[in-house]
Structure 1
């Protein structure tokens, strides 16, 4: 039983390592196209948005205040504000909205 677990862990490590090394070896010295670079720059934002959006909707008792807080955070992020300002400003807006609703 223990040997099987060790083999599974080692195989998982090998597969993960190969998935990272093969592209590095295949594209050594080649510059990615401008389109590919711009596409890859947006992947972290899209993944983060997909992970956070459902949590935003159910973060308060009222979906309306949660959506307005999400809009506030989006506006602050688009204006390229510091992350502390985005988080603090959004918390403040949602707190004030929850007091009024």
Structure 2
């Protein structure tokens, strides 16, 4: 893995740790505000998504095949939700687009 990958993983880990651990150490009573609770719940997922999305598009030889794989992954995940099937269908989509259309 390249040095950038390690930096990305470190930033994601620190962000998730800060969002999860700091409220526990700084705030002693339960957070009752619905907006803040929702924010603290979704921030790690959003951070991971924002860091992963550019890699999905640029991991292939063409941004077109990356985009097709991304759309395929979303559709298969929406229908089935099985991670293995999502990954397999994305790989097949990239292979098909790069073999037959590019």
Under a length normalisation based on structure 2, what TM-score does the superposition of the two structures give? 0.62
Over 3 Å counting, the alpha-carbon distance change for 1:36 and 1:82 in structure 2 is farther
Over 3 Å counting, the alpha-carbon distance change for 1:32 and 1:49 in structure 2 is same
Q: Work out the number of aligned pairs and report it.
A: 83
**1:1-101 superposed matches below 5 A:** 20=21, 23-79=23-79, 81-101=81-101
Q: Which has the higher contact order (CA 8 A, sep 6+)?
A: 2
Over 3 Å counting, the alpha-carbon distance change for 1:74 and 1:32 in structure 2 is farther
Gaps of 5+ in 2: 1-16
Residues in 2 aligned to 1:58 and 1:25: alpha-carbon distance in whole angstroms: 39
Gaps of 5+ in 1: 1-15
Report the RMSD for the aligned CA atoms in angstroms: 2.6
Under a length normalisation based on structure 1, what TM-score does the superposition of the two structures give? 0.63
**Structure of higher CA gyration radius:** 1
Residue deviations 1:13-63 (CA, integer Å, cap 9, x gap): xxx9xxx46x32443341443322322332222112211122112211121
